Amino acid sequence: MNYSAYTIQGARASLKKKHFSSTHLVKACIDEIKEKENLNAFITVCEKEALKKATEADKKIKDGVDLPLLGIPISVKDIYLTKGIRTTAASKILDDFIPQYSATVVKKLEDVGAIIIGKTNCDAWAHGSSGENSDYGPTESPFLEGYVPGGSSSGSAVSVAAQMCFASMGSDTGGSIRLPASFCEIVGLKPTYGRVSRYGIIAMASSLDSIGHFTNTIEESALMLSITAGKDPNDATTPDETVDDYQSYLKKDIKGIRIGIPKEYFAQGLDKRIKEKIEAEIKSLEKQGAKIENISLPNTEYAIACYYIIQPAEVSSNLGRYDGIRYGSARQNFGEEAKRRIMLGTYVLSSGYYDAYYKKAMQIRTLIKKDFDEVFKKVDVVITPVSPTLPWKIGEKSSDPLSMYLSDVYTVTANLAGIPGISVPIGLIQSLPVGLQILGPHFSEGKLFQVGKAILGV
Amino acid sequence: MKPVIGLEVHVELKTKSKMFCGCSADYFGKKPNTHTCPVCLGLPGALPVPNKTAIEWCVMLGMALDCNIPLFSKFDRKNYFYPDLAKGYQISQYDEPFCLKGSIKLGSGKTIRITRVHMEEDTGKLIHENVNGQGITLIDFNRSGVPLVEIVTEPDFDNTKDVLDYLKKLQQIARYLDISNADMEKGDMRLEPNISLRSNTTNTTNNTNQQITNKLPNYKVEVKNINSFRFVEKAIAFEIKRQTEIIEKKGIPVQETRGWDENKQKTVTQRVKEEASDYRYFPEPDIPPIRWNDKKLLMIKKQIPELPDTKKRRFQKQYNISQYDAEILTREKTLADFYETCVNDGQKANLTAKQVSNYIINKKIDIESTLPAEIIKNIKALTIYLRIDESEIKKIVERVLNENKNAVGDYRNGKVSAVQYLIGKVLMVSKEKLEVSRVKKILEEKLND
């Protein structure tokens, strides 16, 4: 069965009309996963559990139950806790960890009928931009053999791009959803910080972690967010802010929408071909009635330095609990990248260095936030590239962590400022996908869908 | 040499639930690891949600101790590794605690400055057991995440008497606020004195705090986790003696953390060079900062009941009782409230507040098992006795003595218990109810004539 033409909404309509069953869908997805096992997108495939859930879903459908994701197979990054299903964070430290509870988001998805088909591969502890840091081996791009799919939510992106499921939950601390989305030619949303609950998702850097998802279309992205977003009594950083009616933005055109183009994001270091492609998209938006304005986000150049102080600081604290006492695996089993971040973070928080590093980084973070606050007084959204380069070959940057870190140069700012960002595919360059990033003010996800829709068309 | 002593006190709050999760905070004596959840076990993905009541109680305590309450406050992570610390860090407060700069005035008139009052979470408990001949350590996480308030003083004490007075006052205030049972035996209050000695050449008679802090000794010995007032007293006395001996031999005591060993009756080294530990504090990203406004703070302030010192002064003035009596009556809020109810009821029965206080204090009334109405009735009965003329009783006594020569003889021959027999006779003869103690007094006077 080929369901790649279906969106979630389309599949739901067909399920309701009994054109096919949820069991058919799940089996088709499992077949895809098995067929493309070489991509290494999954750490754990929940075949048995998913088929059982599909049978239940089919019964409910027969009984006339109607839920937005009833019977729809989706995957979740292996840092989401799933009760009774092994959750590793792609690290051997948690190789045999079976959670006693499920993440809030997992529960929310299951409550509306979603079927968790498996736990996707990623960089261990979500540390990385390519997926190569997984203790379970790198995930491969479904586009070109030997290329990285982007990370850290590598398996999630691949699972959606390679039709192994309809949508996938990822996490974005510095670009870990947007970058792989752009490398895999799909839609990747990093919502506003706190819009989606972090409860039950293994923390990377708690003040930066955003919980988002991958889909093939903007409509599906909006649907997924309307399910996952909202206040969670178990996460003190989720505000009371009401969840927008995202669907309503999809009906709007972009006439009069003010789009800012920050010069710092198009300067040296950006692949010229990517630049041209994005500029072409901007022109097309202008034709659709958007007002394009050149703007400046002057503190952008400090973002990576700032991010690589705050993020490892929080990582070093968050990984403290895996001290070898409770999870059975000794500390030396941490991978190279985790060790690197633990050491960096421990260093920048040490007394005598705190003021010079952590405190300073927090001040810069405030400046970056202010940059965006200022800009969003003048424009509705900002458009930038997602990645300065095209996807690279597996192994190409592994020995050079700094150049790997720089691949997040256009994405980390949104995490530092806590604003939402979406990556939408704008075509291929030499068979390799390119994405465009739309950023907006806090809780403006609706606007991002609106502009994203204008780019992708129907 | 003059002791320089500061105190850190941890008070466990008696909130229903723990500091950052919904688990019951009432862990004492419960089966190990039954009051736990992903949050207090520090499981991956779990997040802390602060207990609003605990925070308000911390602020309330700060207000009761005359602290400033900054409008902005936050939680921080204190990172260190210990098996009883599930997350690898303790959520505490570092540079922006809820309460700053308060004070407690002691009975001696001396004021002890309070540096800060902050909120944190308790750790799990390690239990060292011998199983099949092997020494093993077990962890009970029931206590993990129970709200703790830490109250830190300036090094303003120079004797144990003041330390004990301070601790009792702090305990009393916590109980008045009804935020902690402050039960030492259950570990609700844990005490950590830091002790050092200042040479006599310093002008110690000058009591201005500024000058004292300027001349602090260049070392400090901390005694950790003491769970009894008596042990604090002993630990401080021991340290003063130990440090004196070292200094007299021209040495300098080592800066270190010690523990009180009750079996050996001495303090023992736990950790040397405290300054080397680095907790890598940073703002807790999982909990948004706390911002107060005047209205919210006022609402907390309104919940503060009349505090012991104020109540004591009022009792003295309003009820015209001695300082000593007021002190006893206000020691516990329940007793003070009971007393005031009795005074109120007594007023209707024409009893003075003094009569009520005398009765409650002298009879050591158990307020748990006595109703105010009973108190009033009993005092009333007493006052009826009082109205019987002394000469009337004396007449009866003389009659009884004449009619019971044998008993009188027994008494005078040393059989003191004979007086009981005579009392009984007097009570029988009398038509009115007589007060035994009064009869006894008159009888004894006559007998000993």
pLDDT tens-digit readout, B245-295: 999 998 899 988 999 999 999 999 987 765 556 899 999 999 999 999 999
Phi-psi region of B273 (alpha: psi -120 to 50; beta: other; left: phi over 0): left
Q: Please give the pLDDT value at position B99.
A: 98
- State how far the Cα of B231 lies from the Cα of B261, in Å rounded to an integer: 9
Q: Do A317 and B49 count as a contact with CB atoms less than 8 A apart?
A: no
pLDDT digit string, tens, across residues B30-43: 999 999 999 999 99
pLDDT digit string, tens, across residues A215-256: 999 999 999 999 999 999 999 999 999 999 999 999 999 999
Task: Check whether B201 has a pLDDT greater than 60.
Answer: no
- What distance in Å separates residue B119's CA from the closest CA in chain A? 17
Q: Please give the pLDDT value at position B154.
A: 97
Backbone angles phi, psi at B261, to 5 degrees: -105, 105
**Is B135 at the interface with chain A, CB within 8 A?**
no
- Which residues, at least 6 apart from B294, have a Cβ–Cβ distance to it below 8 Å? none
Q: Tell me the mean pLDDT in the region B70-82.
A: 96
Task: Check whether B214 has a pLDDT greater than 70.
Answer: no
In Å, how far are A3, A117, B307, B443 from A31, measured between CA atoms?
12, 12, 73, 108
Q: Please give the pLDDT value at position B204.
A: 45
Q: Please give the pLDDT value at position A458.
A: 56
Active site annotation includes A119: no
- What distance in Å separates residue A66's CA from the closest CA in chain B? 31
Choose the weakest-confidence range: A45-59, A102-116, B356-370. Answer: B356-370
Q: Do A358 and B83 count as a contact with CB atoms less than 8 A apart?
A: no
Q: Which residue type occupies A239?
A: P
Collect all residues of chain B within an 8 Å Cβ-Cβ radius of residue A354: 280-282
- State how far the Cα of B405 lies from the Cα of B413, in Å rounded to an integer: 12
Report angle CA A213, A217, A221 to the nearest 5 degrees: 35
| Domains and their CATH numbers in chain B | 2-300 (no CATH), 306-387 (no CATH), 390-447 (1.10.10)
**Is B138 at the interface with chain A, CB within 8 A?**
no
Phi-psi region of A142 (alpha: psi -120 to 50; beta: other; left: phi over 0): alpha
% pLDDT > 90, chain A? 92
Q: Which has more confidence, B362 or A339?
A: A339
Active site annotation includes A176: yes
- State how far the Cα of B309 lies from the Cα of B311, in Å rounded to an integer: 5
Q: Please give the pLDDT value at position B229.
A: 94
Q: Tell me the mean pLDDT in the region A33-58.
A: 98
- State how far the Cα of A301 lies from the Cα of A89, in Å rounded to an integer: 31
Task: Check whether B321 has a pLDDT greater than 80.
Answer: yes
* β-strand partners of B114: B102, B153
The A167-172 sheet, strands edge to edge:
A42-45, A115-120, A73-77, A167-172, A210-215, A187-190, A421-429, A432-439, A381-385, A258-262, A291-295
- Please report which residue ranges of A350-444 form alpha helices under DSSP H: 360-378, 401-406, 412-417
- Of A152, A221, A387, A423, which is the active-site residue? A152
pLDDT confidence tier of residue A76, bands split at 50, 70 and 90? very high
The whole-chain average pLDDT of chain A stands at 96
- Of A21, A22, A75, A77, which is the active-site residue? A77
Among B20, B47, B281, B290, most A C-beta atoms within 10 A, so best to mutate, is: B47
Report angle CA A81, A196, A107 to the nearest 5 degrees: 40
- B71: how many CB neighbours lie within 10 A of its CB? 12
Active site annotation includes A272: no
**Is the model's pTM score more than 0.80?**
yes
% pLDDT > 70, chain B? 94
Least Cα distance to A156 among A167, A140, A141 occurs for A167
Q: Residue B114 in contact with residue B67, Cβ under 8 Å? A: yes
Residues of A numbered 164-203 whose beta carbons fall under 8 angstroms of chain B's beta carbons: which are they? 198-203
Q: Tell me the mean pLDDT in the region A27-49.
A: 97
* β-strand partners of B226: B191
**Is B88 at the interface with chain A, CB within 8 A?**
yes
Closest Cα in chain B to A319: B88
- What distance in Å separates residue A350's CA from the closest CA in chain B? 5
Out of A101, A314, A319, name the one closest to residue B38 (CB). Answer: A101
Out of B44, B50, B81, name the one closest to residue A323 (CB). Answer: B81
Q: Please give the pLDDT value at position A107.
A: 98
pLDDT confidence tier of residue B387, bands split at 50, 70 and 90? low
pLDDT confidence tier of residue B183, bands split at 50, 70 and 90? very high
Collect all residues of chain B within an 8 Å Cβ-Cβ radius of residue A80: 45
Q: Please give the pLDDT value at position B276.
A: 54
Task: Check whether A308 has a pLDDT greater than 80.
Answer: yes
Backbone angles phi, psi at B157, to 5 degrees: -90, 145
Q: Tell me the mean pLDDT in the region B433-441.
A: 80
- State how far the Cα of B142 lies from the Cα of B123, in Å rounded to an integer: 9
Q: Tell me the mean pLDDT in the region B164-192.
A: 95
Out of B45, B281, B285, name the one closest to residue A200 (CB). Answer: B45
Q: Which has more confidence, B429 or A147?
A: A147
pLDDT confidence tier of residue B121, bands split at 50, 70 and 90? very high
pLDDT digit string, tens, across residues A367-388: 999 999 999 999 999 999 999 9
**Is A365 at the interface with chain B, CB within 8 A?**
no
Among B96, B280, B284, B290, most A C-beta atoms within 10 A, so best to mutate, is: B280
Collect all residues of chain B within an 8 Å Cβ-Cβ radius of residue A81: 43-45
Choose the weakest-confidence range: A427-431, B65-69, B339-343. Answer: B339-343
- State how far the Cα of A21 lies from the Cα of A7, in Å rounded to an integer: 15
Q: Please give the pLDDT value at position B386.
A: 62
Question: What CATH number is given to the structural domain containing A374?
Answer: 3.90.1300.10
Q: Please give the pLDDT value at position B384.
A: 67
Collect all residues of chain A within an 8 Å Cβ-Cβ radius of residue B43: 81, 99-101
- Which residues, at least 6 apart from A62, have a Cβ–Cβ distance to it below 8 Å? none
Out of B50, B88, B278, name the one closest to residue A320 (CB). Answer: B88
**Is A319 at the interface with chain B, CB within 8 A?**
yes
Collect all residues of chain B within an 8 Å Cβ-Cβ radius of residue A314: 282, 285
Element (DSSP H or E) covering residue B268: strand B266-272
Q: Tell me the mean pLDDT in the region A187-206.
A: 98
pLDDT confidence tier of residue B345, bands split at 50, 70 and 90? confident
Number of independent structural domains in chain A: 1
Q: Please give the pLDDT value at position B200.
A: 65
First to last CA, chain A: 24
pLDDT digit string, tens, across residues B123-173: 999 999 998 999 999 999 999 999 999 999 999 999 999 999 999 999 999
- State how far the Cα of B201 lies from the Cα of B215, in Å rounded to an integer: 11
- State how far the Cα of A317 lies from the Cα of A324, in Å rounded to an integer: 15
Q: Do B87 and A321 count as a contact with CB atoms less than 8 A apart?
A: yes
Q: Please give the pLDDT value at position B206.
A: 47
**Is B95 at the interface with chain A, CB within 8 A?**
no
The CA R_g of chain B, rounded to the nearest whole Å, is 29
Q: Tell me the mean pLDDT in the region A435-458.
A: 95
Q: Residue B401 in contact with residue B360, Cβ under 8 Å? A: no
Task: Check whether B213 has a pLDDT greater than 60.
Answer: no
Task: Check whether B188 has a pLDDT greater than 70.
Answer: yes
pLDDT confidence tier of residue B203, bands split at 50, 70 and 90? very low
Q: Please give the pLDDT value at position B205.
A: 47
Residue-number span of the structural domain to which A123 is assigned: 1-458
Q: Do A320 and B79 count as a contact with CB atoms less than 8 A apart?
A: yes
Out of A201, A205, A321, name the one closest to residue B88 (CB). Answer: A321
Own/partner contacts of B416-423, CB < 8 Å, gap of 24 or more, are B419/B443, B419/B444, B419/B447, B422/B447
Task: Check whether A43 has a pLDDT greater than 60.
Answer: yes
Q: Tell me the mean pLDDT in the region A421-439.
A: 97
Task: Tell me the count of A-B CB pairs closer than 8 A.
Answer: 93
Q: Do B280 and A351 count as a contact with CB atoms less than 8 A apart?
A: yes
- State how far the Cα of B37 lies from the Cα of B111, in Å rounded to an integer: 43
Task: Check whether B72 has a pLDDT greater than 80.
Answer: yes
- A435: how many CB neighbours lie within 10 A of its CB? 28
Closest Cα in chain A to B85: A321
Q: Please give the pLDDT value at position A92.
A: 95
**Is B81 at the interface with chain A, CB within 8 A?**
yes
- State how far the Cα of B365 lies from the Cα of B429, in Å rounded to an integer: 30
